[in-house]
């Protein structure tokens, strides 16, 4: 296969950052990263996004904006007024919410719902964890 002449694809960076990249290709990608500051920056962003999602699943309320073909989609989990956790996702033509007893259930529902609605979505540097 040819060397990376321009830049590494978003999908390849996502797979590499999550440890799913195939070994024969990893060496080529790493050689490119050694000389390409743009792709190294993009890889840092991808890793930061992955860490934010993993933290959210463990114990932090999810708060992420995904950039999709339909525009930005926000995923947020917050304490509910009457106890429990409110999971919400919204965009231009989307507004869904559900209440859960635990933070983990609320985070999981939000991530699973998004994955079902946008199965083709691959995160890029424009998908961002948001500050509360």
- Count of Cβ atoms closer than 10 Å to residue 39 Cβ: 21
HSE-CB for 55 with a 13 A CA cutoff: 13
In the predicted structure, residue 19 carries a pLDDT above the cut 50: yes
What confidence tier does 71 reach under pLDDT thresholds 50, 70, 90?
very high
Average pLDDT of span 80-85: 93
Q: What is the pLDDT of residues 1-17, one digit of tens each?
A: 334 567 878 778 777 77
On whether the pTM is more than 0.85, the answer is no
> CA-CA distances (angstroms) from residue 34 to 17, 93, 103?
15, 42, 40
Helix (H, G, I), strand (E, B) or coil at 78: strand
Q: What are phi and psi of 84, to 5 degrees?
A: 80, -160
Tell whether the model's pLDDT for residue 132 goes beyond 70: no
pLDDT for 76 beyond 80: yes
């Amino acid at each position: 296969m040819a060397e990376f002449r321009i830049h590494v694809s978003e999908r390849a960076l996502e797979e590499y950052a999550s440890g799913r990249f195939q070994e024969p290709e990893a060496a080529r990608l790493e050689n490119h990263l050694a000389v390409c500051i743009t792709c190294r920056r993009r890889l840092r962003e991808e890793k930061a996004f992955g860490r934010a999602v993993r933290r959210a699943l463990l114990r932090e309320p999810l708060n992420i904006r995904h950039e999709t073909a339909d525009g930005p989609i926000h995923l947020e989990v917050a304490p509910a007024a009457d106890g429990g956790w409110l999971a919400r996702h919204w965009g231009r033509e989307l507004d869904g919410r559900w209440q859960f007893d635990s933070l983990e259930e609320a985070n999981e529902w939000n991530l699973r719902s998004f994955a079902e609605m946008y199965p083709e979505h691959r995160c890029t540097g424009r998908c961002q964890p948001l500050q509360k």
